[in-house]
């Protein structure tokens, strides 16, 4: 579980330090203060050897990503689109362990970076490509992701992203990469949800999902996997009518999907963009209680963004009713002096203060 | 409902306890010709002061434009109001979510040493009581107050007691009724009347009343808040 986090030269962040992270973290701020970008940085740090995530994150933002525009897309991750200053993403976790830094830097030419080139060439060979291909790569390898330990400066591994679209992106998979990102848009497929729910049902771990759905839709009485037309999918009984689960509202499906991931996949880290989407104010406290319970039971650290005051208040009230307040609220602000983005963190005491006087904390 | 938002660009803030005090100070600003120089924040009672202090301290840009913060509260009874405010400032410093800290003034009316400055005014400055006590004292030479005094003496003689906490507030309400006896005000049954704010807003309130010694210390405090210069009272 992360305790602190630092992001340098990434997207809109020149140098952002965020402290006192909780098990469940809610991030707010005015538009263009980097709420989603902060979660992207954290997501990348939890999956340092998955360079393909860069393209996924761009596509989530609706940016077309293809092999032909790799470089242009990668450069969008750099502060002010300037790849001359490397990106550094660093997190300190609660357990004593090295403080790895994910460093993303653009190499003008790998010939000048012999060690990096040799490593890439070696991996090309492992993939069955010839030495000639590797040599050709030398002048084309633009961006390299390093994963370093701060103290020893030793490289744990590198992922390679060549600018030449004919050359493969190579990443290492020798480390557990266990996080999931819920973007603002994009529904999970019916098949994906059905697979997850079936497994939970089979293992008799579906009650948390059923209970949560009933709170969101009080007329819902039953959820089950059926295949009346030969296609296996989830069906819900609402007001006595059995209907495909996907006909329920956006909020119900998104939240059910979220809980299925938490209870089924149990990722170490979960990122949710604009968590308030589709959630009626009257059930927001319940939603937070469900998220807090699942996070605690399955040892998941949750990061979410919001623009909703009601969602912020609901989170505080939900976690306050627990004897162990595992919630932190973080606001991203732009400094009037430097224009840089800074983070302010509120613990239980701070949240009590601002919610009791309805003080604006959304930036 | 809109949330409270204290603009980070405001350089000088004056924290006052209630809406009544807000009107009193706005009128005094007008008299002193400093309207617009100081932004008033109503903290809604002493229990809420610490919450407001913590809230503004957590603003990322707290110290960039902020020059001076003034805090006013009633002395009340059987309590040390200044110590209570200092304690609220210290608590806010302990629980801050940013690198900012309040500088703590050593005594009432004196500003703290580091910018953004903080100064505290307890009213009355030299004993127990409330701002209403000062206002009633200012009005003691007004003809209507003679009648009010007789009325309260009569109440006392007939065994009708009034607590010291309510005494000046009650006196002020009767005074205002007397001063406005032949107007629509006297027949208005609005129970939400706030007598302090009405007193300073009434037609009979004269600029000369602001010259009273009771208000001198307040004006010195506001001058210091506006100019960052130590007041003559310190």
Q: Which domain, by its residues, includes B31?
A: 12-129+213-227
Confidence of residue B233 (pLDDT cuts 50, 70, 90): very low
Pick the residue with more confidence: B163 or A71? B163
Tokens encoding A186 = 């994009």
Q: Are residues B30 and B114 in the same domain?
A: yes
Query: In the predicted model, is pLDDT for residue A343 greater than 60?
Result: yes
Which residues on chain B are in Cβ contact (under 8 Å) with A335? 60-61, 64
Q: In chain B, which among 24-83 make CB contacts under 8 A with chain A? A: 43-44, 48, 50-52, 54-55, 58-61, 64-65
From B43, B60, B65, residue closest to A333, measured CB to CB: B60
| SS3 of A93-111 | ECCCCCCEEEEEEECCCHH
Confidence of residue B136 (pLDDT cuts 50, 70, 90): very high
Query: Is A356 in Cβ contact with B51 (below 8 Å)?
Result: yes
Nearest to A179 by CA among A17, A59, A50, A78: A50
Q: Are residues B144 and B178 in the same domain?
A: yes
Please write the tens of the pLDDT for every residue from A85-135: 999 999 988 876 666 788 888 876 555 667 777 777 777 787 777 665 666
Which residues on chain A are in Cβ contact (under 8 Å) with B59? 333, 344
Q: A242-251, B47-56, B195-204: lowest mean pLDDT where?
A: B195-204
Query: In the predicted model, is pLDDT for residue A173 greater than 60?
Result: no
Query: Is B64 in Cβ contact with A353 (below 8 Å)?
Result: no
Residue B64: the pLDDT is: 83
To the nearest whole Å, the CA of A309 is away from the closest chain B CA by 9
A195: left (phi over 0), alpha (psi -120 to 50) or beta: alpha
From A344, A347, A350, residue closest to B60, measured CB to CB: A344
Q: In chain B, which among 108-147 make CB contacts under 8 A with chain A? A: none
Mean pLDDT computed over A339-358: 94
The most confident of A108-122, B79-93, B179-193, by mean pLDDT: B79-93
Q: Are residues B61 and B113 in the same domain?
A: yes
Residue of B nearest to A336 (CA): B61
Q: Please indicate, yes or no, if residue B1 is contained in any of the structural domains.
A: no
Q: Are residues B171 and B103 in the same domain?
A: no
d(CA A315, CA B120): 35
Is the distance from CB of A217 to CB of A252 less than 8 angstroms? yes
The size of the A-B interface in CB pairs under 8 A is 70
Residue of A nearest to B66 (CA): A336
Pick the residue with more confidence: A65 or B49? B49
Residue A285: the pLDDT is: 96
Query: In the predicted model, is pLDDT for residue B18 greater than 90?
Result: yes
To the nearest whole Å, the CA of B96 is away from the closest chain A CA by 8
Hey, how many other C-beta atoms are within 10 angstroms of the C-beta on A300?
Answer: 24
Give the domain CATH number at B107. Answer: 3.40.50
Beta bridge partner(s), residue A328: A25
Query: In the predicted model, is pLDDT for residue A331 greater than 90?
Result: yes
Residue A134: the pLDDT is: 64
Q: Count how many Cα atoms sit within 13 Å of the Cα of residue A2 in the half-sphere of its side chain.
A: 27
Q: What is the mean pLDDT of chain A?
A: 88
Q: How many domains does chain B have?
A: 2
Q: Please indicate, yes or no, if residue B182 is contained in any of the structural domains.
A: yes
Please write the tens of the pLDDT for every residue from A213-231: 999 999 999 999 999 999 9
Q: Are residues B177 and B117 in the same domain?
A: no
Nearest to A54 by CA among A35, A83, A68, A75: A75
Residue B186: the pLDDT is: 62
Confidence of residue B187 (pLDDT cuts 50, 70, 90): low
Q: Please indicate, yes or no, if residue B218 is contained in any of the structural domains.
A: yes
Query: In the predicted model, is pLDDT for residue B217 greater than 80?
Result: yes
% of chain A with per-residue pLDDT over 90: 61
Q: Please indicate, yes or no, if residue B90 is contained in any of the structural domains.
A: yes
Query: Is A350 in Cβ contact with B97 (below 8 Å)?
Result: yes
Q: Say which residues have a Cβ less than 8 Å from residue A254's Cβ, sequence separation at least 6.
A: A182, A187, A277, A278
Q: Are residues B78 and B42 in the same domain?
A: yes
Q: Are residues B198 and B140 in the same domain?
A: yes
Q: A170-174, B20-24, B127-131: lowest mean pLDDT where?
A: A170-174
Which residues on chain B are in Cβ contact (under 8 Å) with A356? 48, 51
Report the b/e string of A10-23 with b at 16+ CB within 10 A. bbbbeebebeebbb
Pick the residue with more confidence: A53 or B138? B138
Residue B47: the pLDDT is: 86
Query: In the predicted model, is pLDDT for residue B234 greater than 50?
Result: no
Matching residue, tokens 């209570």: B84
Residue B200: the pLDDT is: 80
Q: Coil, helix or strand for B117?
A: strand
Q: Are residues B218 and B165 in the same domain?
A: no
Q: Please indicate, yes or no, if residue B106 is contained in any of the structural domains.
A: yes
Q: What is the mean pLDDT of chain B?
A: 89
Mean pLDDT computed over B191-195: 62
Residue A163: the pLDDT is: 78
- CB contact, 8 Å: B156 with chain A? no
d(CA A264, CA A203): 10
Report residue A5 CA to chain centroid gap.
Answer: 14
Mean pLDDT computed over A241-265: 93
- Report chain B's C-alpha Rg in angstroms: 19
Query: Is A354 in Cβ contact with B59 (below 8 Å)?
Result: no
Q: Please indicate, yes or no, if residue B85 is contained in any of the structural domains.
A: yes
Tokens encoding A85 = 């200053």
Mean pLDDT computed over B34-43: 95
Confidence of residue A52 (pLDDT cuts 50, 70, 90): confident
Does this model's pTM top 0.80? My answer is yes
To the nearest whole Å, the CA of B6 is away from the closest chain A CA by 8
Beta bridge partner(s), residue B59: none
To the nearest whole Å, the CA of A181 is away from the closest chain B CA by 27
Dihedral angle over CA of A50, A51, A55, A58, nearest 10? 90
Query: In the predicted model, is pLDDT for residue A146 greater than 80?
Result: no
The most confident of A151-155, A309-313, B59-63, by mean pLDDT: A309-313
Query: In the predicted model, is pLDDT for residue B191 greater than 60?
Result: no
Query: Is B51 in Cβ contact with A352 (below 8 Å)?
Result: yes
For CA atoms A135, A138, A140, A142, the dihedral sign is positive
Matching residue, tokens 């706030």: B194
- Residue A238 backbone phi and psi in degrees, to 5: -125, 120
Which residues on chain B are in Cβ contact (under 8 Å) with A337? 61, 64
Nearest to A261 by CA among A303, A281, A291: A291
Mutation site for A-interface testing, chosen from B63, B97, B116 by largest number of A Cβ within 10 Å: B97
Confidence of residue A177 (pLDDT cuts 50, 70, 90): low
Mutation site for A-interface testing, chosen from B8, B10, B18, B55 by largest number of A Cβ within 10 Å: B55
């Amino acid at each position: 579980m992360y305790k602190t986090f630092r992001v340098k030269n990434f997207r809109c962040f020149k140098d952002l330090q965020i402290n006192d992270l909780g098990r469940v973290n809610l991030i707010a701020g005015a538009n263009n203060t980097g709420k989603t970008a902060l979660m992207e940085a954290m997501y990348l740090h939890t999956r340092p050897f998955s360079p393909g995530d860069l393209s996924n994150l761009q596509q989530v933002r609706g940016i077309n990503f293809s092999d032909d525009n790799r470089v242009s897309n990668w450069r969008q991750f750099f502060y002010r689109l300037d790849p001359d200053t490397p990106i550094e993403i660093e997190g300190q976790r609660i357990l004593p362990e090295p403080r790895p830094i994910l460093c993303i830097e653009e190499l003008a030419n790998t010939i000048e970076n012999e060690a990096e080139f040799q490593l890439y060439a070696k991996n090309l060979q492992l993939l069955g490509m010839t030495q000639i291909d590797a040599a050709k790569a030398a002048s084309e390898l633009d961006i390299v992701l390093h994963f370093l330990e701060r103290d020893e400066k030793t490289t744990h591994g590198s992922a390679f992203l060549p600018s030449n679209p004919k050359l493969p992106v190579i990443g290492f998979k020798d480390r557990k990469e266990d996080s999931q990102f819920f973007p603002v848009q994009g529904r999970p497929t019916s098949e994906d949800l059905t697979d997850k729910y079936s497994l939970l049902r089979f293992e008799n771990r579906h009650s948390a999902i059923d209970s949560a759905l009933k709170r969101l839709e009080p007329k819902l009485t039953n959820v089950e996997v059926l295949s009346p037309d030969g296609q296996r999918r989830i069906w819900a009984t609402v007001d006595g009518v059995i209907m495909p689960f996907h006909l329920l509202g956006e909020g119900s499906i998104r939240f059910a999907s979220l809980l299925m991931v938490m209870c089924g996949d149990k990722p170490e880290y979960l990122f949710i963009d604009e968590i308030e989407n589709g959630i009626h104010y009257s059930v927001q406290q319940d939603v937070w209680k469900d998220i807090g319970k699942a996070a605690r039971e399955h040892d998941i650290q949750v990061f979410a963004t919001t623009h909703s005051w009601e969602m912020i208040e609901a989170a505080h009230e939900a976690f306050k009713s627990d004897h162990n307040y595992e919630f932190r609220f973080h606001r991203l602000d732009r400094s009037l002096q430097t224009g840089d983005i800074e983070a302010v963190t509120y613990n239980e005491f701070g949240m009590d203060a601002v919610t009791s006087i309805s003080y604006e904390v959304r930036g | 409902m809109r949330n409270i938002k204290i603009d980070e660009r405001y350089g000088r803030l004056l924290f006052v306890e209630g809406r009544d005090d807000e009107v009193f100070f706005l009128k005094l600003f007008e008299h002193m010709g400093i309207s617009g120089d100081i932004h008033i924040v109503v903290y809604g009672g002493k229990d809420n002061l610490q919450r407001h202090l913590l809230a503004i301290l957590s603003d990322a840009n707290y110290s960039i434009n902020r020059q001076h913060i003034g805090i006013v509260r009633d002395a009340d009874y059987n309590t040390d109001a200044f110590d209570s405010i200092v304690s609220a400032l210290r608590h806010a410093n302990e629980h801050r979510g940013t690198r900012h800290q309040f500088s703590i003034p050593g005594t009432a009316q004196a500003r703290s040493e580091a910018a953004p400055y903080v100064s505290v005014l307890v009213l009355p400055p030299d004993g127990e009581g409330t701002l209403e006590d000062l206002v009633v004292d200012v009005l003691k030479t007004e003809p209507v107050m003679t009648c009010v005094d007789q009325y309260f003496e009569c109440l006392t003689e007939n065994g009708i007691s009034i607590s010291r906490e309510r005494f000046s507030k009650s006196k002020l309400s009767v005074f205002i009724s007397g001063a406005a006896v032949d107007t629509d005000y006297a027949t208005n049954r609005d129970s939400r009347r706030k007598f302090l704010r009405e007193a300073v807003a009434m037609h009979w309130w004269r600029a000369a009343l602001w010259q009273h010694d009771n208000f001198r210390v307040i004006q010195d405090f506001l001058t210091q808040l506006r100019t960052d210069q130590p007041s003559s009272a310190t």
